[in-house]
Every structure is written in structure tokens, then in C-alpha cells.
Amino acid sequence: MTSPDVLRPHAERRHADELAAIAAADDRPRPPGWRLSPRAVATYVLGGTLPGGAVISPKYVGPRRVVEVAVATLATDRALLLLGVPGTAKTWLSEHLAAAICGDSTLLVQGTAGTAEEAIRYGWNYARLLTEGPSRAALVPSPVMRAMAEGRLARVEELTRIPPDVQDALITVLSEKTLPVPELGEEVQAVRGFNVIATANDRDRGVNEPSSALRRRFNTVVLPLPATAEEEVEIVSRRVAEIGASLELPAPPAAIDEIRRVVTVFRELREGVTADGRTRVKSPSGTLSTAEAISVLTGGLALAAHFGDGALRAADVAAGIVGAVVRDPVSDRVVWQEYLETVVRDRDGWRDFYRACRDA
Ligand SMILES: Nc1ncnc2c1ncn2[C@@H]1O[C@H](COP(=O)(O)OP(=O)(O)O)[C@@H](O)[C@H]1O
Ligand SMILES: [Mg+2]
């Protein structure tokens, strides 16, 4: 059913070859309903080399233990809550975990302030409801209900944006593993393999804090920001290359220098100190996440490819950087100007970058 022109195939399709190779080499016990053993899931997520020599690309770059705890949690009766600041790959990891564990990352509830109980329980096809009365055929199952019936993983994005009473619809699902349908005098019981991966932003803390009853059903795993600049450069270059390839942008040589610079700027502003630890700098109001570095560079790549001379230059990323840093037109602009003048201007080999940013 998927056209070859699909802009962004789901992870299970994008990496179908890798998943098949991992499954073929996987001789460890699989939890009921799982397609792979927990160790094989970790290999898919973190990358590695299979006994036969096939190389598996890393999807998530970060502490192995974080991934192991996340995978192990999903093999228990507790659900998984991925927590972290925006752009720490919570959504990304949740998609890949679902793809590897149950071969389906599409059973997704996008949490918003307007998410209603039907998104977690079930709704009705009103035309049928009116003509036939409540029946199985008139019932519209939510992604969670389908995951229960099929023994798969349901993903709940941005859990803490969902109103508390709607969030609490998950309590029965997670504790009793059942979803009653009183209108039909029935219930849907979860099949082995069912579990839930939820994500939530640190920054949203306090918005709709999950009730303690719900919290107890989850094991929380915090995703950290990349520990070192090298790690962040690796994440960014890998993703930028992948996105560039899928958009059929020609990859310019030596983009790595510009990637290093963008990552350095983001890290320094985020951490409030220069990479050499010598100069304190002020942090802007927005989060300068790895995800934003990726979009700044992808934007730069498109500029370079279509309007430049084929190389990725400071001028191609400058506008993107300023846009990412200056969220508040007043206070962030001051922070940015100060950083430009005190740090960027006199840095060796950054002259072009300084000029491009000043002009942007
Ligand atoms: N540690 C990481 N490993 C791999 N990719 C990462 C990492 N951190 C960020 N990314 C990339 O950045 C983006 C993260 O976006 P997303 O998952 O939407 O973040 P979140 O849901 O935490 O706000 C993804 O495209 C992912 O490729
Ligand atoms: Mg997200």
C-alpha cells in the first residue's frame, strides 16, 4: 500500500532489511509477542555488527544503558515513559523501539490539550451508530485499543499535554490490561506483546503532571543531551546526510566543518560557557537542541545546493542559526550580539562565519 514516493516511510519499512537480518541472526529468547529478543532490539537501535558480518546502522546515539533499560522495561508489565528536553530523540527512539519490537510504529496517539478520551479508548462511527445502534462494526477503536487487541506497542506522544482526566484513561489499560466497552457489554483484553511507550518534555513539567496512580504504571527513562561535541557532531552529520539523501540534495564536500561550527555554537550557548571553558556566555530563551542543529544544517544544505557554488558555506547556515537562537526578538538578540562580539569575532578561522552571522 506504500507508494515508493512516500516522503518519510515508517522505520519498520525504512529499515526492513536490517530488521530481517537481525531477526535471522537472533537466537536469544523473545518475550511473548516480540519479533526480536531484547538484545537484538538494542542492536537495531544502537547499531553493531551481526555474526555474519552485516553492519547495522546506529539509530540512537547515546548511553547503551539508557536503551537497555528502555527495552527491558517494555518486556515487563510496566509501560515506558521517555522524558527529556525537546530534541533529545524521544519521539525518534519511541518509533524505532516500536518498529523493532512489534514491527509497527504507527499505533500513535499525538497528545495535545485537545486530546479526548476517544483517542485512548474508542469512538463511534455515528452514521452506523444511528442506523444500527451500538455494535462492534460501529465502534472505532483507538490506536491503544488496536495495540491491545493485536499485542503490539501503542505510542502516546506528549503525554503531559493531555488533560489529566484523559491521561487517566490509561490507568485501567495499564493496570488491568483491559478496556471495557460498557455500551456493548464487552471488553477488549490486551494480548501478550501489548505495552505503551509515552514521551513527555521536561519543559512541560507542571503543565499536566500525570497523576501518581498513572505515574506508577510507568518506568521513566530520561534521555540526556549528547554528552560530548563529537557525539553531537556524529548525530547531526548522520541525520543531515540521511535527510539530504532523501531530499536528493547533492552532498557538498567538507560539510563537516560547518557542522562542527553549528554544533559548537549550539553547545556553547546551551551550556553558558565556551568549549575551552574560559568565557562565560549567556544562554538564549529557547532550547538549542540537536534536532534544531539538524534543521539549520539541512536548510543550509538546500541553500548551498540550489543557490550556492556547491560547497556548504557559513552564509548558508547563518540565517538558520540566527533564527534558531533569536526566539525572543529583544532579549535573545542581545545575547546573540554579545556572543558574536565576544566569542565568534576573534576565534581563529571563524572570520567568514562572523561576517555571515552579522549580515544575516
Ligand atoms: N541522541 C540522538 N541519537 C540520534 N538522533 C538524535 C539524537 N538526538 C537527537 N537526534 C535527532 O534529532 C531529532 C530528534 O527529534 P525528536 O525525536 O522529535 O525529539 P523529541 O521528541 O525528544 O523532542 C531526530 O531527528 C533524531 O534523529
Ligand atoms: Mg517529540
Sequential DSSP letters for 4-56: TT-SS--HHHHTHHHHHHHHHH--SPPPTT-SS-HHHHHHHHH-EE-TTSPEE
CB 217 within 8 A of CB 174: yes
Domain 11-222 superfamily per CATH: P-loop containing nucleotide triphosphate hydrolases (3.40.50.300)
* Atom 13 of ligand 1, residue of closest alpha carbon: 291
| Nearest atom in ligand 1 to 89's CA | 17
| Nearest atom in ligand 1 to 289's CA | 9
* Atom 20 of ligand 1, residue of closest alpha carbon: 87
The β-bridge partners of 79 are: 218
Give start and end residues of each alpha helix (H) in 155-254. 164-167, 169-176, 212-215, 229-246
Give the pLDDT of residue 236: 96
> How many CB atoms neighbour CB 60 within 10 A?
21
Give residue 341 CA to ligand 1 midpoint distance, Å. 31
What cell does 286 get?
529557547
Q: Ligand 1: residues whose CB is within 6 Å? A: 60-62, 84, 86-92, 199, 226, 235, 239, 290-291, 294
What cell does 33 get?
509477542
Which helix (H) or strand (E) segment is 218 a member of?
strand 218-222
> How many CB atoms neighbour CB 49 within 10 A?
10
Give residue 89 CA to ligand 1 midpoint distance, Å. 3
Give residue 86 CA to ligand 1 midpoint distance, Å. 9
Give residue 239 CA to ligand 1 midpoint distance, Å. 9
Distance CA 323, CA 264 (A): 16
Give the pLDDT of residue 20: 98
Residue 173 CA: distances (Å) to CA of 187, 188, 286:
11, 10, 36
| Nearest atom in ligand 1 to 86's CA | 23
- Does this model's pTM top 0.85? My answer is yes
Give the pLDDT of residue 246: 84
Give the pLDDT of residue 360: 85
User: Cα angle vertex 92, ends 86, 94, to 5°?
Assistant: 105
* Atom 26 of ligand 1, residue of closest alpha carbon: 89
Give the pLDDT of residue 280: 95
| Nearest atom in ligand 1 to 199's CA | 21
Give the pLDDT of residue 255: 87
> How many CB atoms neighbour CB 93 within 10 A?
24
The pLDDT tens digits along the chain (360 residues) read 567 788 899 999 999 999 999 999 999 999 999 999 999 999 999 999 999 899 999 999 999 999 999 999 999 999 999 999 999 999 999 999 999 999 999 999 999 999 999 999 999 999 999 999 999 999 999 999 999 999 999 999 999 999 999 999 999 999 999 999 999 999 999 999 999 999 999 876 668 999 999 999 999 999 999 999 999 999 999 999 988 888 888 777 778 999 999 999 999 999 999 999 999 999 999 889 999 999 999 999 999 988 988 789 999 999 899 999 999 999 999 999 999 999 999 999 999 999 999 998
